[in-house]
Homo-oligomer: A and B are copies of this chain.
């Protein structure tokens, strides 16, 4: 027999029957909704259901109304290794009419592994699941390399329907400055994967034509504010996590400058030694390990309109960011007691988080709502 001497086990068990709720401080109530296996990203459908990627290569559809979880079949083969696997998922801005979804994943190929972005038509069935039809890879990291770190592969659409992808430097450092590679870059594409003619390096051709900004390390957060300005958060090396304001053609300096240092002990000159590189708007040492970025404009937390939230992995935190023009500051940090992998605003104005399911994390989908009075 067993006893419920561990509240977490009790909570996980009770959650099969009814959600388990805890109030963190006084800012919000956190409710454990349902568990996933190493979830990485989520996207809300117009009907309020939630697509959730699991790193091993499973795409799930969760219905908050009924509490049921279905499978979306047809995900291509992913390399689930290290930080690689099925990654981000976003809806096309015209999803209600064209049914297109875009997702990223680590794929194997000549030279090793690399991130890829595919688009597909999401065909839902009447049983809470569905399939991906007409899957087409529209972008790939060049070149594929060894190792299993720093894919980045966060995806965002802007209001003009352009597709933005963070392509991290695969822990290879120098490619972030090499315009013959699209590693360590933020790229801008048309929604079919072609290169817009007005990209800053379009006249150079090749993968350089895709590049909007360069000199990035591991960009896991990518989101537009209400003015259409793109922001990106970036994992620094030892120290030097960054929030960057993404500006056309700018070079953010990695690995030439960083407010952190290499893990092997070699120092990296700070940003202020080389003003020709764009410096972060916020730099964190000690680090927060930013996994994700979302702007908030909902009604449930009116005091946070226009703020952004960053999910923190090693910091096990949710970081609230306030903005003023081109500057920003960390306004508040909530200790979540769990590694936060993803953050999104739901259609209900609640904040939804995914708990990292690796390193002992348990993969909960969490819903943050105003505290009960």
Residue numbers of A with Cβ under 8 A of B are 1-2, 13-14, 17, 37, 54, 56-58, 70-81, 86, 108, 123, 125-127, 129, 131-133, 135
Q: Is the CB of B131 within 8 A of A78?
A: yes
Contact status B77-A133, CB under 8 Å:
yes
User: Which residues in B have their C-beta under 8 angstroms from that of A131?
Assistant: 57, 77-80, 108
Distance of A369 from chain B, by nearest CB (Å) = 22
Residues of B within 8 A of A126 (CB): 81
Q: Which residues of B contact A58 (CB under 8 A)?
A: 58, 71, 73
What residues on B are CB-neighbors of A86 within 8 Å?
A: 73
| CB-defined A-B contacts under 8 Å, sample of 12 | A1-B14, A2-B14, A13-B13, A37-B71, A54-B71, A57-B74, A57-B131, A71-B80, A73-B78, A73-B80, A75-B75, A81-B125
C-alpha spacing A73/B74, complex, angstroms: 9
A74/B78 in contact, CB under 8 A: yes
Specify how many copies of this chain sit in the oligomer. Answer: 2
Q: B residues within 8 A CB of A57?
A: 71-74, 129, 131
B13 x A77 contact (CB < 8 A): no
Q: Is the CB of B17 within 8 A of A80?
A: no
Residue numbers in B under 8 Å from A2 (CB-CB)? 14, 17
**Interface residue SS majority, chain A:** loop
Specify which chain B residues have a CB less than 8 angstroms from the CB of A70 in the assembled complex.
Answer: 56
CA distance A73 to B72 in the complex (A): 12
Distance between A6 CB and nearest chain B CB, rounded to angstroms = 11
Additional A-B contacts beyond A54-B71, A56-B71, A77-B133 (15; CB < 8 A): A1-B14, A2-B14, A56-B70, A57-B72, A57-B131, A58-B58, A73-B76, A73-B77, A74-B76, A79-B125, A80-B125, A80-B129, A81-B126, A108-B123, A108-B133
- A82–B302 Cα distance when bound, in Å, is 45
Of B54, B77, B127, B132, the residue contacting A74 (CB under 8 A) is B77
Chain B residue contacts of A72, Cβ below 8 A: 57
In the assembly, what is the distance between CA of A228 and CA of B13, in Å? 49
Q: A76-B73, A80-B73 are in contact. Are A56 and B129 (CB under 8 A)?
A: yes
With most chain B CB atoms within 10 A of its CB, the pick from A73, A126, A127 is A73
Name the residue on B nearest A134 (C-beta): B77
Chain B residues with CB under 8 A of A56: 70-71, 73, 129
Bound CA span A66–B70, Å: 27
B77/A132 in contact, CB under 8 A: yes
Closest-CB distance, A13 to chain B (whole angstroms):
6
Q: Give the residues in chain B near A127, CB-CB below 8 Å.
A: 80-81
Interface hub of A1, A13, A77, A125 (most chain B Cβ within 10 A): A77
Q: Which residues of B contact A80 (CB under 8 A)?
A: 71, 73, 125, 127, 129, 131
